[in-house]
Chains A and B, each alone.
Chain A
Amino acid sequence: MNIKHILKTLSMIDLIKGFNVTLKALFREKVTIQYPEVKTPLSPRFRGKLALMRYDNGEERCIACKLCSAVCPAQAITIESEEREDGTRRTTKFEIDAFKCIYCGFCEEACPVDSIVETNIFAYHMTENHQRIQTKEMLLETGDDYKEEITTNRAKDSKFT
């Protein structure tokens, strides 16, 4: 042990430096928020839970082109389709496995009719294993419920895309 080290220990200089940091932090603006009562702001590009959109007249947008299921790297999307009575191409089954989904947003990019979109919802839960499968009805419901938020977000982001 050399003399320099002994002096440093006895004068408790390190302790004082440390308390100095604490003292400074005491007067800084607080960054901790009281989640879930308070929430952080989200980017309009935030990629959360998936939803299916409708046209303003209530018709579902999805045309069963299956590009989203083709591009999905996690193979989370299952689609079956057939010709509807009016001669249009529609899905008979549109399911997303929420456990498989990695929220990459490729599906939204691939969609030619802006049907599948990602919402800002990042906190949702399920109590049974089978509930991870989100059916077409559930996805359309999410789209209906959050339509306003989704459209404003898209509008905000539009000048950057």
Chain B
Amino acid sequence: MTEKNVNISIDGEEYSVEQGQMLIEVTDQLGVYIPRFCYHKKLSIAANCRMCLVEEENTKNAIPACATPVSEGMVIKTKSNNSQTAQQATMEFLLINHPLDCPICDQGGECELQDLAYLYGKNNSRFDIQKQTKSNDNLGPLISTDMSRCIMCTRCVRFGTEVAGLPEIGTMGRGESSTISTFVESSIDHELSGNIIDLCPVGALNNKPYRYTDRTWELDQIDSISPHDCAGSNVYLHVKNNLIKRVVPKVNESINETWISDRDRYAFDGIYSEDRTHESLVRINNKLTPISTNDGINMFIDQLHSIKDKKNISALVSPSSSFEEQLLFAHLMEENQVNNIDHRINQIDFSGDALDPLFPLLNIPLNEIENMESILLIGSTIRKETPIIAHWIKKAADRNCEIHIINRSLDEYHFPIENYILSESSLIAENTGLIVKAALSLSNQEFPDHILDALSKLKEPSPAHIKTANSLISKKSLVISGLVTRNNKDYSLIRSYIDILSSMTNSSKGEITFSANTAGAYISGCIPHRSSFGRTKDIGLNAIQISTNINKMLILYNIEPDDCLFRDELYKAIDSAETVVVFTPFMNDVFKEHADIVIPIKTPYESCGSFINVSGVLQSFNEGLLQLDSLQTNQDILFDTLDYAKAKPLPFEDIINKTQLFIAESKANINPNTELPSINSNADILESLNNYNLYSTDSIVRRSRPLQLTKESKIES
């Protein structure tokens, strides 16, 4: 597309700007403010609030800046009398029916209407008839409504159709009696629905759990990263008196744009659950007794040292702990010759460990997904796993990207699907293989014989497989696998197929992982077959072997049995282990009954650290939190533990730079893997998850009261 510039004048200054843009986009870039309500840069243009009317010299009437493309010779006067009269008149109309309940409105202080009324409104109202009131819908446990405050900007309606993909709310009625509603009474269940709270320029849609508790000017803002999924959404924590009051999105155009999922927004409530433990406990005479944290750590280290055969010690680390914690913990284990360490509590097939990449990686940035022309999604209930990545795929689909899906159940997708290959979970691998086979016959690349042999054992690909393979080859494509694949019993085979397929079709590839920091867990060495930064070590037991083994000592770092896919096995392992040491923010019945040493740790919301997201972006969080409260972070506890254990200190000063270098290097030298894993062994003792429950993914989410009240959380997993 050829770019053509036009010359316009804004407030007396001459500018040369790109043609085709709307006037308001131009003024926003130039830093000239034009008031607006209905315009939002991520949504389509409605031009129904009329607040952005400005004077253009050659036009008789004022023009709406959000819906007028710039053209040659425009003379815009944003501050002229005509502009201001138009804006004041609009403001006066908007305020006719808006209630004067700012003192009790949670939006007060961050309300766009309030701000603009202050700047553009008149002091007195000429309206002395009774104001209109509207009834409030019950939109579920997350969003509160005060529809009388609504100014009908329809941002929420446009969000529903354009971003969320499910029009859950719409406009009813005409003229003065038009309202925003769900038509029939129902809750809003979309996983991104909380964003309409931020979009609403007034207090009509608001945060229900936060309702009436605090005013915006009382809150401190801390940069953070959401710990609940692998997208690594940027968020702000709003804090008062060292308590998190709410979570709002922070703009990051390359990860989450301006959106966050409901899980990121409301999960923090879980950290104030009654299950929180703040004191160290030690089992004496079969009763948990309080003890100081230092003594608790001492006891743990003494017991760790007293076990001679280190093969009997096992450790499981949470993939949602920060990278620094994982690194320190893995270092502690390495120093004590404990090789049985793993974080993959949601994987049952470990036969491909030898072929593991240095860390699972989506080899394009998240915002590149929308430029794809063809996407193959293998075994993924993507909307529930990572709503933000699902949103990027939706954006790609809006640009006519073909979406191909291999999955076992007909999940509800919010984008059109080109080709749906419905497959039982045991057949996902075969179906992927068939696409590889189809792609092989279509491409003319050379491949090693053992792959050709393996593929020739498969049946003939159906037209559906050929169609997908064709689309992947001929277009700019991406192959991405999800959590259903991760806990599939043929996981290793599927991953190898994906590797081969992506090098065959020249497509990007990626893998959606559990929790916020699976990539970090791989790099930090929380895996049995590799030490930190890809160094080799003696192979230890993997997660499922640890859970089926009888351990002398079992150490659980930030892990609860409920996090785990094979939770029954882990229950048994905890039951049978001689000593169970748990580092945990929460107590549960299993720990109360079986744990021998309990060391309380902080959740990611209260501690600081870094997460490495699905596309290998390292992001540090909560650096501001320490200024608010002098708390002992999880890193401090682990440093103490290392001290007591007299372990070699870890060179920690430059660790973030070192890690970033390591990630950049490994991204640059990815060797395409063309090996297939050996036939898998113990995987068939378990069946994959049937249903992925959005709100039971980690210990914090499970304890979040608002999320547990939603319809989604009622779905049994």
Contacts and interface: CB of A to CB of B under 8 A. Distances in A.
Contacts of A90: 212
Contact of B103 (A63, A82, A83, A88): A63
B212 A65 contact: no
A64 interface: yes
B118 interface: no
A90 B211 CA distance: 11
A26 B218 CA distance: 60
A82 B212 contact: yes
A87 B28 CA distance: 40
Contacts, number: 28
Interface size range of chain B in the complex: 10 to 19
Contacts of A73: none
Interface in B200-217: 211-215, 217
B103 A67 contact: yes
Contacts of A67: 103
A70 interface: yes
A113 B108 CA distance: 16
Interface in A105-144: 112-113
A70 B104 contact: no
Contacts of A113: 103
A65 B212 CA distance: 9
Contact of A89 (B212, B217, B218): B212
Contacts of B215: 65-66, 70
A158 B692 CA distance: 66
Q: Is the interface of B mostly helix, strand, loop or mixed?
A: loop
Nearest to A110: B103
B212 A66 contact: no
Give the interface size bracket for A toward B: 10 to 19
Interface in A50-68: 63-67
Interface in A77-111: 80-83, 88-90
Contacts of A65: 102-104, 108, 215
Contact of A70 (B102, B212, B217): B217
A80 B213 CA distance: 7
Nearest to B108: A65
Contacts of A64: 104, 212
Nearest to B104: A89
Contacts of A80: 213
B103 A112 contact: yes
Contacts of A63: 103-104
Given A65-B108, A66-B218, A81 B213 contact: yes
Nearest to B144: A83
Nearest to B100: A112
B325 to A, nearest CB: 34
Contacts of B103: 63, 65, 67, 112-113
A83 B146 CA distance: 14
Interface string B221-246: 00000000000000000000000000
A66 B217 CA distance: 10
A66 B103 CA distance: 8
Point out which of A65, A70, A82, A113 has the most chain B C-beta atoms below 10 A from its C-beta: A65
Interface centre among A66, A67, A80, A88 (most CB of B within 10 A): A66
B108 A81 contact: no
A89 B146 CA distance: 13
A49 to B, nearest CB: 24
Interface in A13-40: none
A66 B108 CA distance: 11
Contacts of A81: 212-214
Interface string B101-139: 011100010000000000000000000000000000000
The 3 A-B residue pairs with the shortest CB-CB distance, nearest first, are A65-B103, A89-B212, A83-B212
14 contacts: A63-B104, A64-B212, A65-B102, A65-B104, A65-B215, A66-B218, A70-B217, A80-B213, A81-B212, A81-B213, A83-B211, A89-B104, A90-B212, A113-B103
Interface of B: 102-104, 108, 211-215, 217-218
Given A65-B103, A65-B104, A80-B213, 11 more contacts: A64-B104, A64-B212, A65-B102, A65-B108, A66-B215, A70-B215, A70-B217, A81-B212, A88-B104, A89-B104, A112-B103
